[in-house]
């Protein structure tokens, strides 16, 4: 069974038709290895990259966004939430486009 089928069964998302006049932006997985200083494999890395050459500014996108956070920023956010009494919610996302 494809992973998209699991996502539909879990009602995580639904597959929709492409709106008229819109382009499909392809993507591909990039795999790499991270090594320790002694040459041993530290971890396997993977990232999903949009094939931006198929996009048109103002049609497919208006700005760029890279969802990356440094631990110092996350710790600062936790500190602010504690100081101001904000509630925090954690969420895992498998598919983000």
pLDDT for res 77: 86
What is the SS3 assignment for 25? coil
Q: Is 6 a member of any domain? A: no
pLDDT for res 67: 66
How many structural domains comprise the chain? 1
Q: What is the mean pLDDT of residues 18-28?
A: 80
Q: Is 96 a member of any domain? A: no
Residues 68, 62: contact at Cβ < 8 Å? no
pLDDT of 96 above 60:
no
pLDDT of 1 above 60:
no
Range of the domain at 75: 20-84
Q: Is 69 a member of any domain? A: yes
């Amino acid at each position: 069974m494809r992973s998209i089928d699991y996502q539909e069964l879990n009602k995580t998302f639904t597959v929709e038709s492409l709106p008229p006049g819109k382009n499909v932006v392809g993507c591909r997985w990039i795999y790499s290895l991270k090594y320790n200083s002694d040459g041993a494999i530290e971890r396997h890395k993977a990232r999903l990259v949009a094939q931006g050459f198929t996009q048109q500014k103002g049609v497919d996108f208006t700005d760029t966004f890279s969802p990356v956070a440094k631990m110092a920023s996350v710790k600062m956010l936790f500190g602010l939430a504690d100081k101001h009494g904000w509630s925090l919610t954690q969420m895992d996302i498998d598919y983000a486009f």
